[in-house]
């Protein structure tokens, strides 16, 4: 049996939450889930376009995609608690490990670089946008678990250092922003 792809439920601008409650497609929870989905999808694009020198990052990126899927479940289903403090601690360990492998920066740098690094910098901006929306959701409509908010905050830091590492591995030197 084939699963039907279209349901027609959203034809009038409404969508059904996991609870069965109908909400506008611009509902803050739906918007948050959509922005996390966009980030997860962009990480998929990044993964299939990794440079030869950065093919090993596929494992890290797939890990992030799975964690983002779990985060979506946590937001959609209040009783779901997939993201834990240990997930943020793991990101912090990875950040510290990678930060020790790249040259020190002494100021702001321009996002970009080679393909892999530029894609990861863009992923960082998508993560920040999703985080801002999640915070607005938390503050106005649906309390989120503190572990989820911490994870989202650390995620963009991890993507930043992952982008720097990818650029370093590809032989690209960060360009400092000048004021």
For residue 39, count other CB atoms closer than 10 A to its CB. Answer: 28
107-111, 120-124, 152-156, range with the lowest pLDDT: 107-111
- Tell me the residue range of the domain where 64 lies: 26-169
Query: Does pLDDT of 71 surpass 80?
Result: yes
How many Cα atoms sit within 13 Å of 49 on the Cβ side? 13
Q: What's the average model confidence in pLDDT over 60-66?
A: 97
Q: What's 150's domain CATH number?
A: 1.20.1200.10
Is there a domain that residue 5 lies in? Answer: no
Is there a domain that residue 8 lies in? Answer: no
Is there a domain that residue 69 lies in? Answer: yes
Q: Is 144 exposed, middle or buried (0-12, 13-18, 19+ CB in 10 A)?
A: buried
pTM for the predicted model, two decimal places: 0.93
Provide the number of structural domains found in the chain.
Answer: 1
Is there a domain that residue 179 lies in? Answer: no
């Amino acid at each position: 049996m084939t699963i039907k792809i279209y349901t027609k439920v959203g034809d009038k601008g409404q969508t059904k939450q996991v609870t069965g409650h109908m909400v506008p497609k611009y509902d803050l929870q739906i918007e948050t889930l959509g922005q996390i989905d966009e980030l997860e999808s962009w990480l998929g694009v990044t993964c299939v376009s990794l440079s030869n020198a950065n093919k090993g990052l596929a494992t890290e990126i797939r890990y992030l995609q799975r964690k983002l899927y779990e985060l979506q479940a946590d937001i959609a289903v209040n009783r779901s608690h997939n993201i834990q403090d240990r997930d943020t601690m793991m990101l912090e360990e990875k950040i510290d490990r990678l930060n020790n492998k790249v040259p020190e920066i002494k100021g702001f740098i321009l996002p970009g670089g080679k393909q892999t690094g530029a894609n990861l910098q863009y992923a960082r901006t998508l993560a920040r946008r999703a985080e801002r929306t999640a915070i607005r959701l938390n503050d106005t409509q649906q309390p989120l678990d503190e572990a989820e908010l911490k994870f989202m905050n650390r995620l963009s830091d991890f993507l930043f250092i992952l982008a720097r590492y990818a650029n370093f591995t590809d032989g690209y030197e960060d360009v400092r922003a000048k004021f």
